Amino acid sequence: MLRHLPSVLQRKFKVVLFFLLLLALLIHMVLDLAFSSGRGSCGCSPKIADPMGLLPADPSAAVQNKLNLRILQDFSGSNGSLEKGSRLLGGTPYPGDRSNMDHQGHSFKHQEAEEKIVWADRSKLAALFDHPLYKIPTPAVMAKDKLFVTNAKIKFQLKSSRSDEWVSGSMAVMARLTEQMAKDPYPPWLRFNTGINRYELYGRHDPARHALLEDLATQEIVSSVQKPGGTQLKIIMTFPNKGKALFKPMKQTRDQETPADFFYFSDFERHNAEIAAFHLDRILDFRRIPPVSGRLVNIAKDIRDITSDQKLFKTFFISPAGNVCFYGVCSYYCSTEHALCGKPDLLEGSMAALLPGEKLAKRRSWRSPWRRSYSKTKKAEWELNQNYCIQVRQTPPYDQTSRLLNLIDMTVLDFLMGNMDRHHYETFEKFGNDTFLLHLDNGRGFGRHSHDELSILAPLQQCCIIKKSTFLRLQLLATEPYRLSDVMRESLAADHLSPVLSEPHLRALDRRLQKVLAVVKSCLTNGEERVVLLDDQGGQQAATSEQEKETSSAA
């Protein structure tokens, strides 16, 4: 065909064909270069992160880490001694021990860096935790100050319990637990437990807290049994990673106030009070309440269908409205009249991380000196004697000022919540008398937002002493940039059951905070500052001298 075309047309056709071939070649080269640059300079496959979020040096090291999982050491035989059981056995650091985390340190710093990035929006909550008063370091944690040390010879093994009430003896459940522990040998609950020390339950920016809260809200529930004892229903739930949580179901809606005619010991425990108490305790920088998260639970699938507790199982029924209900077995509010019903099977509740068991970390229960009479007619001695604190300060362990100061911290927390039900408190026996108080069982807080029970402040009013650091933080939370109600609202917004508190309860926090400050200022009027505001930081307090002036002028 080309032979019949004029020579000029033939030349033009050949030139066009040549340019088309050249264009195709150029396109192919460009695509090839783009593809090679997308793959990066290294053609190796990406490394797989281990359960702690770290990149192992080599595959054999990752396997060895999983095989060398260690269990918490039992200190129950030490009888509370500060020395026995405090030595590092075998010389090998436990992976969850924050002070001996060489290979985990990079991961924790990375997570803390991410947390600071989140704070970059300069919210009130972020600004609060970035404040110098929230950066005062705790004393150096020595081996004897840790609740747990390591034992390289003991490995974590799953064993079925021989208890009649706790026989989750299903081989399928045990297999799932074993599989999960193989995937995540250092779960958040284990890291949380190994971080407990003489001075705090968890660090200010401990990544284990974030992960543990998420586990409490989302982990699959593989077993549920009722916690024995107590006046109201509580359920212990187990997760695939062998973590456990205490579930308190919803009994009242958020806007239901406790009637004025109710005695404090007749009130219901509120699930949202447990959640809010954890957030308030952290905002006050006490950090003495175990992490608590809200959760929507399917009471049929997550309790009835998997429980091995026959007494609990027998209390389930279907209501006339077609909802799944149950009431459990307890001293007072466990009957068909007080049944808890889902909609049709979903029920809100609080999930609190359990502290290490008594066999692992024995706790001592103390009766509060300002315990109420729990009588409809009688008053306690402290209600009749305004000089009662003199008597208390002559009685061990309150003859040590640190114990009394810690108790007054708890008093401030209870007053802000409106909790009148603080009859006992606990401490870890290993640490003796020189340690913080555990702020447990806060379900009777946040009952009445319209009433401030000033009698809760009796220890502060009668003793007229408070930690200087606590007072400075209270002053800070009374200022507009760090207002307590605002930071609480923001903190609670992260919970899965948000909103946790109604607005009247949040406003009550600001009002009550002013009353706490008024009591302290009254004490300062009648006494010397050095006697009322006790320096609990020693030399470390000098770092906050400038901030003290700032908060005082702002207040």
Ranges 225-229, 253-257, 258-262: which has the least confidence: 258-262
Residue type at position 448: R
- Torsion, Cα 33 36 42 43, to 10 degrees, reads -150
Q: Which residues are CB-neighbours of 245 under 8 A, at least 6 positions away? A: 216, 236, 237, 239, 351, 352, 353, 354
In angstroms, the CA 399 to CA 396 distance is 5
Residue 25 sits at the vertex; the CA angle it makes with 39 and 29, to the nearest 5 degrees, is 15
- Give catalytic residue positions: 421
The pLDDT of residue 91 is 35
In angstroms, the CA 297 to CA 303 distance is 9
The pLDDT of residue 271 is 95
pLDDT digits (tens, 9 = 90+) for 492-512: 999 999 999 999 999 999 999
Q: Own/partner pairs for 138-146, CB < 8 Å, 24+ apart?
A: 138/199, 138/200, 139/199, 141/99, 141/197, 141/198, 141/199, 143/86, 143/87, 143/88, 144/82, 144/83, 144/86, 145/197, 145/198, 145/199, 145/431, 146/86, 146/97, 146/99, 146/194, 146/196, 146/197, 146/198
Ranges 67-81, 240-254, 308-322: which has the least confidence: 67-81
Q: Do 86 and 151 contact (CB within 8 A), yes or no?
A: no
| Burial 241-252, CB ≥16 within 10 A → b, else e | bbbbbbbbbbbb
Tokens of 433: 């008398």
Give the residue, 93 or 180, on which the prediction is more confident: 180
CA R_g for the chain: 30
Q: Mean pLDDT across the stretch 255-266? A: 72
Cis peptide upstream of residue 499 (ω within 30 degrees of 0)? yes
Residue 337 above 70 pLDDT?
Answer: yes
Q: Mean pLDDT across the stretch 230-237? A: 89
In angstroms, the CA 152 to CA 70 distance is 6
- The structure's pTM equals 0.73
In angstroms, the CA 70 to CA 64 distance is 12
The pLDDT of residue 176 is 53
Strands 533-534 and 466-467: parallel
Q: Do 124 and 490 contact (CB within 8 A), yes or no?
A: yes
Q: Do 208 and 97 contact (CB within 8 A), yes or no?
A: no
Ranges 88-102, 246-260, 327-341, 455-469: which has the least confidence: 88-102
Burial class (CB within 10 angstroms; exposed 0-12, middle 13-18, buried 19+) of 138: middle
Ranges 87-101, 211-225, 319-333, 357-371: which has the least confidence: 87-101
The pLDDT of residue 42 is 40
Residue 367 above 60 pLDDT?
Answer: yes
The pLDDT of residue 348 is 96
Q: Mean pLDDT across the stretch 238-247? A: 95
The pLDDT of residue 375 is 80
Ranges 197-201, 207-211, 256-260, 267-271: which has the least confidence: 256-260
Residue 58 above 90 pLDDT?
Answer: no
pLDDT digits (tens, 9 = 90+) for 399-413: 999 999 999 999 999
Q: Mean pLDDT across the stretch 301-310? A: 95
CA dihedral sign of residues 163, 166, 172, 176: negative
Read off the pLDDT band of 547 (50, 70, 90).
very low
Q: Mean pLDDT across the stretch 328-355? A: 92
Give the residue, 360 or 178, on which the prediction is more confident: 360
Q: What is the mean pLDDT of the chain?
A: 79
The pLDDT of residue 166 is 35
pLDDT digits (tens, 9 = 90+) for 455-494: 999 999 999 999 999 999 999 999 999 999 999 999 999 9
